[in-house]
Amino acid sequence: MSEINVGVYRAYSRPWRRLPSFRGKVRAAKELRRLLGLENHHILEFVTLNRPVSYKATLDLHSWLEFIAYFTGSYEADTVEFLVKCYNNNGYFLDVGANIGLTSVPFSIMTNSTSTRTAASVYSIEAVNSNYERLQQNIEINGLREQIAAINCGVAECEKTVEIQVEGNLRDGEGTGTANILADNTDHPAERISLDVTTIDKLINTGVLADQCCLMKIDLDGYDLKALQGANSLLSLSRPVIFGEFSAHCLKWHGQTHQHVENHMRAFDYEVFYRNKDSWHFSRNCKQDGDLLILPVERLSDFTWCTESAS
Quick: pLDDT tens for 238-269. 999 999 999 999 999 999 999 999 999 999 99
Q: Give yes or no: residues 119 and 246 share one domain.
A: yes
Q: What is the pTM of this model?
A: 0.94
Q: For 135-183, how does the pLDDT look when each residue is reduced to its tens digit (9 = 90+)?
A: 999 999 999 999 999 999 999 999 999 999 999 999 999 999 999 999 9
The predicted pLDDT at position 311 comes to 43
Q: Give yes or no: residues 48 and 179 share one domain.
A: no
Task: Give the pLDDT mean for 90-109.
Answer: 97
Count of domains in the chain?
2
Q: Give yes or no: residues 158 and 196 share one domain.
A: yes
Give the CATH number, domain containing residue 170.
3.40.50.150
Task: Give the pLDDT mean for 217-223.
Answer: 95
Torsion of CA 249, 251, 255, 260, to 10 degrees: -120
Q: Give yes or no: residues 53 and 19 share one domain.
A: yes
Do 5 and 37 meet the contact criterion of CB atoms below 8 Å apart? yes
Domain boundary (72, 88, 118) is at 72
Do 144 and 183 meet the contact criterion of CB atoms below 8 Å apart? no
Q: Give yes or no: residues 166 and 296 share one domain.
A: yes
Q: Give yes or no: residues 89 and 170 share one domain.
A: yes
In whole angstroms, what is the distance from residue 186 CA to residue 182 CA? 7
Give me the domain span that covers residue 182.
77-303
Q: Give yes or no: residues 28 and 147 share one domain.
A: no
Q: Give yes or no: residues 42 and 110 share one domain.
A: no
| 19 Rama class: left (phi>0) / alpha (psi -120 to 50) / beta | beta
Q: Give yes or no: residues 96 and 232 share one domain.
A: yes
The predicted pLDDT at position 295 comes to 98
